[in-house]
Amino acid sequence: MKRMNTILILLTLLLNACSSKEKTEVAPPVEEQTVTLQILDKNATDETKALYSNLWKIQSTGFMFGHHDDLIYGREWSTEQGRSDVKEICGDYPAVFSLDFAEIMDERHTTSTLNVHRKRTILEARARGEVITACAHINNPLTGGDSWDNSSNTVVKKILEEGSDVNIKFKSWLDNLAVFVLDLKDSNGKLIPVIFRPFHEHTQTWSWWGSSCTTANEFVSLWRFTIDYLKNQKGVHNLIYAISPQLDSPGSVDNILFRWPGDNYVDFIGMDCYHGNNTNAFTTNIKNLAQLSKDKMKPCGVTETGIEGIRKDGIEISDYWTKQMYTPVAGKKISMVVMWRNKYDPNHTGYHYYGPWSGHASAPDFVKFYQSAYTLFSKDLPDMYKMAEGILVE
C-alpha cells in the first residue's frame, strides 16, 4: 500500500509538472514597455527627438565623456583641424563636444575669430555622430560688462520690459543665435540638434542672471521668455534645453531644483560640480541628479566639472580619472560627464586645464579610464540621431 501510494504521488507530481510546462510554453512573451518622454518643443525636428531619446537610453549603458572646446584648441595647439587633447591620448574623440555660444550671440559675433571654427567643429563632431552641447557666457546687455558683471540687479527687469533698449538688444542676440543654429546642417541637409544650456550656474551670485541679481520670479520669467522667443518667434526647433545649477558641496534634490522653471520648460537636467578633491560631494550630487532624472523622466548629466590643473597640493594627480571620475559615476545612470576646457597655453604659464593632455602625469590613467566598461567615447556611440528602440518622444 505504501508503494502504491508512492506511485500515485509520483504520477500526480509528474502530471502537474507536465501541465505547468505546457502553460509555460504557450504563455505569450513579455513585451518590453515603451517609455514615453516629453520634450518641451512639440515641433522639435525628428533628429532632435531622436537625440533626446538616446540621451535617456544611454544612461542605462554608461556615461558619455565630454570636454569643453576640445576640438577648437588644446593645451599646446589652437584651431588645427582634426586635433583633440583627448584623442591624442586615447586615440578617440570625446562623445560630447561642449562649446560656448556667447560670441555667436552678443556684440562679439562680428569680431570673434573663433566663430568660424565653432561652426566647423560642430559639423565635424556631428559627422562622427557625436553629441553637441553649448553654454552661453553672454555679456551684460545693460552695463556692457561681461557675463560676470553682477553690478546691477535691474538687468533682467529691463530685458523683460517689452520695447526697452535692453529688451531690444537681448532679442537681437537671440536673433543671432537663431541664425547660427538654423544654419547648422548635417551632410543630409538636416538641422543639427544642440543641447543648449542658457543661464548656467544660476544658483551662484557671479553672473548677471544669478541669485544676487534676480528674484526667483525674474529668473524663471527670463528662462521662459528666452525659450518661447527662440521656438515661437524664430522657429528654432533643433535645441534641447538644459538647466545646470552649480553644486560644489554635498547637496540635495531641492538644491538642483533651485528656481526650477517648470517641468514643461526643461528637457535635460544638468549639473555643474566643481567639487575639487571631495569625491563624497561628487558622489552625493550625482546620486541626487540620477534620482531626479528618474522622478521627472528627463535625461541628466554632469555638464561641467574638473579640477584646475588636475592637481592636489601642487602635485599632479596621476590616478585622477579612474579614482576621482570613474568610481563616483560608474553605474549611476547619467548620460554624460563633461570636463571644462584646456586653455591654449603653449608656454605653460599656468594650470588652466581640466581635461587630459599628453604631458600630464594622469595621461596613462586616462587610457585606463577610456578602456573602462562604463565610459563612452565617439567610437562607442550608437546612432544618437536615430530614435532609440522602445522610447517615444512626444
**Rounded to an integer, what distance in angstroms lies between the CA atom of residue 164 and that of residue 167?**
5
User: Where do we find the cell 562623445?
Assistant: 95
Q: Is residue 267 part of a domain?
A: yes
Non-local (6+) Cβ contacts of 250 within 8 A are 278, 280, 281, 284, 285
Q: Is residue 100 part of a domain?
A: yes
Q: Is residue 341 part of a domain?
A: yes
CATH number at residue 385: 3.20.20.80
CB-CB neighbours of 52 under 10 Å = 27
Q: Are strands 311-312 and 315-316 parallel, antiparallel or unpaired?
A: antiparallel
**Rounded to an integer, what distance in angstroms lies between the CA atom of residue 209 and that of residue 164?**
18
For residue 152, which of 134, 139, 137, 135 has the smallest C-alpha distance? 139
Provide the number of structural domains found in the chain.
Answer: 1
Q: Is residue 9 part of a domain?
A: no
Beta strands in the chain (DSSP E): 35-37, 63-68, 96-100, 131-135, 194-196, 239-243, 268-273, 300-305, 311-312, 315-316, 336-339, 375-376, 391-393
User: Where do we find the cell 504520477?
Assistant: 11
Q: For residue 250, give the amino acid letter.
A: P
The answer to whether 294 touches 60, Cβ cutoff 8 Å, is no
Domain that holds residue 297: 38-393
Q: Is residue 61 part of a domain?
A: yes
DSSP string, 90-104: HSS-BSEEEEE-HHH
Q: Is residue 289 part of a domain?
A: yes
Q: Is residue 213 part of a domain?
A: yes
| pLDDT by residue, tens only, the chain of 394 residues | 333 433 343 344 333 443 333 333 344 444 568 999 999 999 999 999 999 999 999 999 999 999 999 999 999 999 999 999 999 999 999 999 999 999 999 999 999 999 999 999 999 999 999 999 999 999 999 999 999 999 999 999 999 999 999 999 999 999 999 999 999 999 999 999 999 999 999 999 999 999 999 999 999 999 999 999 999 999 999 999 999 999 999 999 999 999 999 999 999 999 999 999 999 999 999 999 999 999 999 999 999 999 999 999 999 999 999 999 999 999 999 999 999 999 999 999 999 999 999 999 999 999 999 999 999 999 999 999 999 999 999 9
**Rounded to an integer, what distance in angstroms lies between the CA atom of residue 229 and that of residue 220?**
14
Q: Is residue 33 part of a domain?
A: no
HSE toward the beta carbon, residue 243, CA cutoff 13 A: 31
